Amino acid sequence: MTAPTRTWLITGSSAGLGRALVTELLARGETVAATARVPHALSDLGPSSGRRLWTARLDVTDPERIRQVVADAVEALGRIDVVISNAGYALVGAAEEASRDQIERQIRTNLTGPIHLAQAVLPYLRAQGHGRIVQISSMAGQRAAPGTAVYCATKWGVEGFFESLAAEVKGFGIGVTIVEPGTVRTGFFGRGKEVTAALPAYADTPAAVLRRRAEDGRLSCRGDLAKMACAIVDVATRPTAPLRLALGSDAYGLIRRGLTARLADLEDQKHIALSTDLSGDTA
């Protein structure tokens, strides 16, 4: 028996992981609403996909446009089963170097954009009684690194928001999965980055080293986009999917080391934590 097809909505579809996801889904016979700031970048996929590929222009920093595109996609395709919130980029450089505009743009794209998208799709998912939201985070959403402070702030933000959201919408038959990829060649250190203006005081710091390597393309990237896309689709279509999904050996290692260190610190501080409770009867 042939498995029923699903309808997917993906943001940030024109390149990198987003495009790999669109390609994987179309190869599986799924229907895709692919959105991007430059949707014509997907025009080469259209002829072989027929009506299974629907595209729209979308800048996720525009909440009104998000709502309109979601409504248009539902009208055109009948429903949305899975939403993959993928649009985003990395701001690379020391925290002090980031301009106000750079900080605000990073937050609007990586944090408030996904929040507005979730708000826009939830009424449709609730009405149909099922669905899944897949939020693309990063290994940086579990362990921060120098030179990516603002980027990490947005990823830690989406991790908290979507973990909370998962508990809020579970009763409606809606699942949430947070994906934490490691480095990929065309993502974090490729076109999907912006670099701060350098301050001389940070010239020999770890943040500056990361910036120079990112600018020169000298950082090794272990992730295979096609394999990551395949894994995301496989997991998202399970009857029960995990809340978090790490992708790449670098992500697995970094997250594991970070969690181990945090747990050790917590145990070391146990006596301090317990000493701050109210004394006696707390009823």
For the annotated catalytic residues, the residue numbers are: 137, 151, 155
Task: Tell which residue, 220, 248, 218, 216, has the closest CA to residue 232.
Answer: 248
Tokens of 248: 């790449």
DSSP E strands: which ranges in 27-67? 31-36, 53-57
CA dist., res. 70 & res. 241, Å (int): 24
Give the DSSP letter of residue 83: E
CA dist., res. 163 & res. 178, Å (int): 8
133, amino acid identity: I
End-to-end CA distance of the chain: 59
Which residues 6+ apart lie within 8 Å of 78 measured at CB? Answer: 7
Q: Which residue has the tokens 């507005």?
A: 116
Which residues 6+ apart lie within 8 Å of 42 measured at CB? Answer: 13, 14, 19, 22, 34, 36, 53, 55
Residue 92 C-beta-side C-alpha neighbours within 13 Å: 22
